[in-house]
């Protein structure tokens, strides 16, 4: 059964098309990821699916309800963890959860029982009675995930769940996400610009860039599409080598970058001598060569022609400021 189904969903902001005619579906119980750079339209898609924004055209159904006509029903079914922290820092963790549960009309018993469950799920037992302003970044994120689960949502939206967190905390958050997907059967829709995150967590990934979905498939299929192995090499005359290599039948695909070439092949280790041989025959000097398993980075590259714009984890406020400017505030 499809939990999310979109039909030509489009959102425009003053002439800028943030989400461009996207149609996709997410199955019950899966972890589905949108992978793309900042500004690709991931957050806008989440905001439309969670009824915070009205689409300019097109439509979507979430948990069987229409996001335009049945807003309140959709809201009951979804949990959201926003990219920017959306907790009240001047309240304790427990108060934040309790407020959330009340707004979602859980009765007293359910509130209590559920709170203990979600707290346990994200290991925040001891920190529940201190103010959120004293939490670390990872703890805030965990609290938000716990809160998103409070009202037994059918689908949980996670917008860049590990943005700005350190490697260890990210790993822990990933495990919580997997755990709740497994234990609670919650369908998860997440967005990320981290390849490793999409690779580790998602059953299926949609690659999104400039508001358009380029491809949706399982991570394994996506990686296989660029070849079993990727050879990266830098040499003196890249164009000449590229021409020479294109004649070979064992080469799945090639791509030229600023300072290096990537070649998709099977059994990469055995192909390195052949590549060197061809280069020598053409009188080209190879400076370096390596072989590795393909990553989603390579997939992204082959579909968009560039690597995901390199972004360091940044403070959410900066993104806020940027979004702010873009809206012309």
Q: CA 316 to CA 24: how far, in whole Å? A: 28
Q: What secondary structure does DSSP assign to 13-33, as a single string?
A: ETTEEEEEEE--EEETT-EEE
Please say which residue, 54 or 236, places its beta carbon nearer to other proteins: 54
Applying CB under 8 A, which part among 70-78, 173-181, 243-251, 279-287 lies near other proteins?
Answer: 70-78
Q: CA 35 to CA 132: how far, in whole Å? A: 30
**3-class SS of residue 43:** helix
Q: What angle do CA 322, 328, 329 make, to 5 degrees?
A: 85
* Phi, psi for residue 108 in degrees, rounded to 5: -55, -45
List the interface residues with other proteins, window 219-238 (CB under 8 A): none
Chain-centroid distance of CA 266 in Å reads 28
Q: Which residue in 87, 122, 139, 213 binds other proteins (CB under 8 A)?
A: 87
Q: Which residue in 18, 40, 75, 241 binds other proteins (CB under 8 A)?
A: 75
Please say which residue, 32 or 157, places its beta carbon nearer to other proteins: 157
Q: Which residue in 1, 16, 86, 130 binds other proteins (CB under 8 A)?
A: 86
Minimum distance between the CB of residue 58 and other proteins, rounded to whole angstroms? 17
* Residue 243 binds other proteins, judged by CB under 8 A: no
* Residue 122 binds other proteins, judged by CB under 8 A: no
In this structure, are residues 157 and 50 in contact, taking their beta carbons and an 8 Å threshold? yes
Applying CB under 8 A, which part among 77-85, 170-178, 265-273, 297-305 lies near other proteins?
Answer: 77-85
Q: CA 249 to CA 135: how far, in whole Å? A: 57
Q: Which residue in 2, 84, 217, 248 binds other proteins (CB under 8 A)?
A: 84
Q: What secondary structure does DSSP assign to 63-90, as a single string?
A: TTEETTT-HHHHHHHEEEE-SS--S-TT
In this structure, are residues 161 and 180 in contact, taking their beta carbons and an 8 Å threshold? no
Q: Which residues contact 220 (CB under 8 A, 6 or more apart)?
A: none
Q: Which residue in 50, 219, 262, 302 binds other proteins (CB under 8 A)?
A: 50
Minimum distance between the CB of residue 84 and other proteins, rounded to whole angstroms? 4
Taking residues 145 to 174 in sequence order and writing x for each that binds other proteins by CB under 8 A, - otherwise, the string is: --x---------------------------
Minimum distance between the CB of residue 80 and other proteins, rounded to whole angstroms? 5
Minimum distance between the CB of residue 206 and other proteins, rounded to whole angstroms? 22
Site residues for other proteins per CB under 8 A: 47, 50-54, 72-73, 75-76, 78, 80, 82, 84-91, 95, 99-100, 102-105, 147, 320, 324, 329
């Amino acid at each position: 059964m499809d939990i999310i189904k979109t039909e030509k969903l489009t959102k425009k902001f003053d002439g800028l098309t943030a989400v461009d005619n996207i149609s996709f579906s997410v199955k019950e119980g899966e972890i589905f990821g949108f992978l793309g750079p900042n500004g690709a339209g991931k957050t806008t898609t989440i905001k439309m699916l969670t009824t915070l924004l009205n689409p300019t055209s097109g439509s979507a159904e979430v948990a069987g309800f229409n996001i335009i006509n049945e807003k309140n029903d959709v809201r009951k079914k979804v949990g959201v963890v926003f990219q920017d922290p959306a907790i009240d820092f001047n309240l304790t963790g427990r108060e934040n959860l309790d407020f959330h549960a009340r707004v979602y009309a859980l009765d007293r018993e359910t509130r209590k029982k559920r709170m203990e469950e979600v707290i346990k799920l994200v290991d925040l037992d001891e920190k529940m009675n201190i103010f959120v302003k004293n939490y670390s970044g990872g703890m805030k994120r965990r609290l938000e995930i716990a809160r998103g689960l409070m009202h037994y949502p059918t689908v949980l939206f996670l917008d860049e769940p590990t943005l700005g967190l350190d490697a260890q905390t990210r790993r822990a958050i990933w495990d919580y996400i997997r755990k709740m997907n497994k234990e609670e059967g919650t369908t998860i829709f997440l967005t990320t610009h981290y390849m490793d995150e999409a690779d580790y967590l998602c059953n299926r990934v949609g690659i999104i860039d400039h508001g358009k979905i380029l491809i949706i498939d399982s991570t394994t299929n996506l990686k296989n599409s660029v070849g079993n192995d990727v050879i990266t090499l830098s040499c003196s005359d890249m164009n000449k080598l590229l021409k020479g290599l294109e004649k070979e039948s064992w080469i799945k695909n090639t791509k030229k970058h600023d300072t290096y070439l990537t070649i998709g092949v099977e059994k990469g280790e055995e192909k390195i001598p052949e590549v060197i041989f061809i280069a020598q025959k053409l009188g080209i000097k190879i400076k370096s060569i390596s072989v590795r398993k393909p990553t989603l980075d390579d997939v992204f590259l082959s579909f968009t022609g560039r690597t995901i714009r390199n972004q360091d984890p940044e403070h959410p406020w900066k993104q806020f400021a940027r979004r702010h400017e873009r809206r012309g505030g």
